[in-house]
Amino acid sequence: MADENEPTEISGNDARGGVTPHVTRYVLGISLIAIIVLFAIILIWNGH
For 1-48, what is each residue's pLDDT tens digit? Answer: 567 788 888 877 777 776 667 888 899 999 999 999 999 999 999 986
Rounded CA gap, 20 and 18, in Å? 7
Sequence spans of domains, the chain: 21-48
Does this model's pTM top 0.85? no
Calculate the CA 26 to chain-centre distance.
9
Rounded CA gap, 32 and 22, in Å? 17
Q: Using an 8 Å Cβ cutoff, are 13 and 19 in contact?
A: yes
User: What Cα–Cα distance (Å) separates residue 15 from each residue in 12, 18, 20, 28, 34?
Assistant: 5, 8, 12, 24, 34
